[in-house]
Chains A and B, each alone.
Chain A
Amino acid sequence: MNSSTSPSAPSAVPALETHDLTVAYHKKPVIYGVDVSIPAGKLIGIIGPNGGGKSTLIKAVLGMLPLTGGWVKIFGEPQERARRRVGYVPQRESVDWDFPVSVMDVVLMGRYGRLGLLRRPGRADREMARHCLDRVKMLPYADRQISNLSGGQQQRVFLARALAQDSELYFMDEPFAGVDAATEASIIEVLHELRDRGRTLLVVHHDLPTAQRYFDMLLLLNMRVVAFGPTSEVFNYELLQRTYGGRLTILSEVAAAMPERR
């Protein structure tokens, strides 16, 4: 199914490998027979239409949904054994922002997976959390309650929490949703920095024009993998048309996104 394999794929173990991955809700498949082999150290965009299974793929890989079929390996290990190597940024709307916790409390949650049961976060964890908040320019808000934040600030708090997880492989579900242009630029800067330090990032993204600029590789998903490869090879009219199934508005967006390729 993959239209091409990455020319720069390292000989090492792939960061993420799925085989025949199928997930169904009420017997209707949402993703079907997904085979991917994601090389380490890349910034990868997952794009596809609404309901195309982008979030479902992430949740299935992270063990949050029961698999109907197939298997997942993270750095060559089953998902349960690789949890500490994986970081996650859920959709911003998935939580209640009136919850009585501070920004700092939320970022510290990034450390809990490593801490283990019964252990409290210590000075080193707090220092690390402060550092992560500083990287997304949210340190001045550390003691605020989370409901007083704007959408972009909430998204940066989630990013800081993921940074605090200090993972090798990150899954981010629409980290740019409801974010202003300046915040988007600062988030993408952090993502590029992580990639440059050898981390692997899989990012669900909605905006086609920026997808072309942001990501090293793209995974085009509509229930099945339409294409996976370097952005320059798979971001083309024909493959996007196959991904989005000929929806007019999306297609005009695609056309606008790549004038130099027509």
Chain B
Amino acid sequence: MFVMACALVPELHAAKIGEISETSLGGQVVRFLSLRDPVVRAAVIGAVLLGVSCGLLGSFLVVRKLALAGDALAHAVLPGLALGYLWAMTKDPIAMAIGAVAAGVLGTTAVTWIKETTHIKEDSALGLVLGAFYALGIALITMIQGLPGGNKSGLDKFLFGQAAALSSADLWLVGGVALVGGLVVLLLYKELVTSSFDPGFAQAAGLPVRALQAVLMVVLACAVVTGLQAVGAVLMAAMLITPAAAAYLLTDRMPRMLALASGFGVFAGLLGAFLSFMRSNLPTGPFMVVAASAVFAAAFLFAPRHGVVPRWWRTHRRRSRIRDENTLKAVYQVREESDFADERVTVEDVARRLRESVPEARRRLAALSAASFASPIDAEDRVSLHPEGWLRACAVVRNHRLWELYLTHSAHYAADHVHDDAEVIEHVLGEDTVRQLERLLDFPERDPHGKLIPSLADLQRSLSLHPERPVATGYRQPLP
């Protein structure tokens, strides 16, 4: 299989390049965007309308956890389409729509029936019905292709979709469904949201839960049926689910989710129609779904709150802040050893305090200097902290020692049990909590190990008194 695919690729590739060189890319774009071509116009209008109804209805499928049911429905309508064709013996949109809706209802009923009369669960029931109906649909369509006579060209388009093949009757249907879908969501918004969020409560409050569910499913079935021509049965469900799922990652309010999902649906529809047009009318469905999936992938990666990259970036920022603060604390401790006599500390001493190698300590001190917390490492392998760096160092040490004191005094921890806890807390204590702790502990001067606690008030005072000089100490009392 794989070998075959590999063998085919170069030929396909060559053919495509040939096509592009024949017609200019710019000319194609202009022809598409100007909407002069009636075929293009039909495709664009159809894609926009379909995008809106898919976004609106798909949002409700996603929040109701009915995505798989949508997929089953989209596949279940296929045999109905084929039977509708056999009945009219032509591509009559009305006959095929009736057949498709009937098949959709039958499929949904079959799922419920299997679920309620046997101990087979919903996922298997959906899989069964989806497979059976889809297989039947394909079999029927293949048979029809072999029948003599009749205008059956384009029946295969129902598998992968062809927006350019939308007739004006099709467009009226797509437009009608989009209008009805929009009206249903607009007028029954509060009932749909309530019965989706909490069906039990909605029913107890007297909302017509079953009727609402039925209305939603009927509109959905109509959207699926009218969408088949443009998207195809295979991927119809993806046009319902993907834009809505992308919107769900970007907002936590239903109205915004509906708006975003519709926008993404329109975008995917247009891009799909355009790409298909550029490549001499390849099936539209796959291109639309690829575009929608690209939107989803972008939301998955970059959504401000739930996106992978912003989350990774926040973690990274927090980690590097904690690393910087630990280095600052080490510098403070080195200076404390010499009773703050020397402003400068050696890289080696800092490495010892950090329990890291000298090169690692050098890297971390370089990071401090890059963040302008400290001077660059000088020729004698020493650094001194800038006032902002010294302030932060004192703050971290103060947080650590205050927390240790709080644990031993107020929570009755033993003095040798508090260090590890304070190592974590020191980075997250806010200004308000620190003030609260200071008051609670009556403005303490020494931690449980007898070390002095630097006070922020003194620090700020000495900074403003001697702005030109780095602060020597943050202690409440002058050092002996």
Complex contacts, B188 vs chain A, CB 8 Å: 117-118
Complex contacts, A113 vs chain B, CB 8 Å: 205-207
B193 at the binding interface (Cβ < 8 Å): yes
- In whole Å, how far is B75's beta carbon from the nearest beta carbon of chain A? 26
B85 at the binding interface (Cβ < 8 Å): no
A121 at the binding interface (Cβ < 8 Å): yes
Best-buried of B187, B188, B194, B200 by chain A (most CB within 10 Å): B200
Kindly state the interface size class of chain B when it binds its partner: 20 to 34
B204 at the binding interface (Cβ < 8 Å): yes
Do B252 and A94 touch across chains, with their CB atoms under 8 A apart? Answer: no
Within 8 A of A (CB), among B179-207: 187-188, 190-191, 193-194, 196-198, 200-207
Assembled-state Cα–Cα distance A109/B209 (Å): 14
Do B253 and A90 touch across chains, with their CB atoms under 8 A apart? Answer: no
B248 at the binding interface (Cβ < 8 Å): yes
A228 at the binding interface (Cβ < 8 Å): no
- In whole Å, how far is B281's beta carbon from the nearest beta carbon of chain A? 38
B254 at the binding interface (Cβ < 8 Å): yes
- In whole Å, how far is B448's beta carbon from the nearest beta carbon of chain A? 31
Within 8 A of A (CB), among B241-288: 248, 251-254, 256-257
Assembled-state Cα–Cα distance A63/B200 (Å): 10
Best-buried of B190, B191, B198, B205 by chain A (most CB within 10 Å): B205
Whether A94 touches B204, Cβ cut-off 8 Å, given contacts A100-B251, A100-B252, A112-B191, is no
B63 at the binding interface (Cβ < 8 Å): yes
Complex contacts, A120 vs chain B, CB 8 Å: 190
Do A90 and B198 touch across chains, with their CB atoms under 8 A apart? Answer: yes
A57 at the binding interface (Cβ < 8 Å): no
- In whole Å, how far is B299's beta carbon from the nearest beta carbon of chain A? 14
- In whole Å, how far is B193's beta carbon from the nearest beta carbon of chain A? 7
Assembled-state Cα–Cα distance A64/B194 (Å): 15
Do B253 and A112 touch across chains, with their CB atoms under 8 A apart? Answer: no
Complex contacts, B317 vs chain A, CB 8 Å: none
Whether A165 touches B253, Cβ cut-off 8 Å, given contacts A88-B200, A105-B193, is no
Do A96 and B200 touch across chains, with their CB atoms under 8 A apart? Answer: no
User: Which one of A80, A83, A94, A105 contacts B205 once the chains associate, using CB atoms below 8 Å?
Assistant: A83
Whether A62 touches B204, Cβ cut-off 8 Å, given contacts A100-B257, A101-B254, is yes
Within 8 A of A (CB), among B39-71: 63, 65
A145 at the binding interface (Cβ < 8 Å): yes
Complex contacts, A96 vs chain B, CB 8 Å: 63, 65, 197
Whether A100 touches B253, Cβ cut-off 8 Å, given contacts A94-B198, A112-B205, A113-B207, is yes
Tally of contact residues, A, Cβ under 8 A: 34
Closest-by-CB residue of A relative to B258 is A100
Do A90 and B187 touch across chains, with their CB atoms under 8 A apart? Answer: no
Closest-by-CB residue of A relative to B189 is A120
Do A109 and B197 touch across chains, with their CB atoms under 8 A apart? Answer: yes
User: Which one of B196, B200, B202, B206 contacts A59 once the chains associate, using CB atoms below 8 Å?
Assistant: B200
Do A83 and B204 touch across chains, with their CB atoms under 8 A apart? Answer: yes
A18 at the binding interface (Cβ < 8 Å): no
Do A109 and B201 touch across chains, with their CB atoms under 8 A apart? Answer: yes
Whether A63 touches B197, Cβ cut-off 8 Å, given contacts A100-B254, A120-B190, A145-B253, is no
Within 8 A of B (CB), among A42-98: 59, 62-64, 80, 83-84, 86, 88, 90, 94-96
Assembled-state Cα–Cα distance A196/B202 (Å): 27
Do B197 and A62 touch across chains, with their CB atoms under 8 A apart? Answer: no
Do A62 and B254 touch across chains, with their CB atoms under 8 A apart? Answer: no
Assembled-state Cα–Cα distance A196/B251 (Å): 42
Complex contacts, A121 vs chain B, CB 8 Å: 190
- In whole Å, how far is A63's beta carbon from the nearest beta carbon of chain B? 7
Assembled-state Cα–Cα distance A113/B205 (Å): 5
Do B254 and A112 touch across chains, with their CB atoms under 8 A apart? Answer: no
A251 at the binding interface (Cβ < 8 Å): no
- In whole Å, how far is A92's beta carbon from the nearest beta carbon of chain B? 11
Complex contacts, A145 vs chain B, CB 8 Å: 252-253
Do B205 and A88 touch across chains, with their CB atoms under 8 A apart? Answer: yes
- In whole Å, how far is A204's beta carbon from the nearest beta carbon of chain B? 14
Do A165 and B205 touch across chains, with their CB atoms under 8 A apart? Answer: yes
Do B63 and A100 touch across chains, with their CB atoms under 8 A apart? Answer: yes
Complex contacts, B187 vs chain A, CB 8 Å: 117-118
Complex contacts, A117 vs chain B, CB 8 Å: 187-188, 191
Closest-by-CB residue of B relative to A148 is B252
Complex contacts, A94 vs chain B, CB 8 Å: 198, 200
Do B193 and A101 touch across chains, with their CB atoms under 8 A apart? Answer: yes
- In whole Å, how far is B198's beta carbon from the nearest beta carbon of chain A? 5
Whether A101 touches B197, Cβ cut-off 8 Å, given contacts A63-B204, A83-B204, A113-B207, is yes
Q: Which 4 A-B pairs have the closest CB atoms?
A: A113-B205, A83-B206, A88-B204, A145-B252
19 interchain pairs, CB-CB under 8 A: A59-B200, A64-B204, A84-B206, A88-B201, A90-B198, A90-B204, A94-B200, A95-B198, A96-B63, A99-B63, A101-B253, A105-B254, A109-B197, A109-B198, A112-B194, A112-B202, A112-B205, A117-B191, A171-B204
**6 more A-B residue pairs beyond the given contacts A100-B256, A101-B254, with a C-beta to C-beta distance below 8 A:** A90-B201, A90-B204, A109-B190, A112-B205, A120-B190, A171-B204
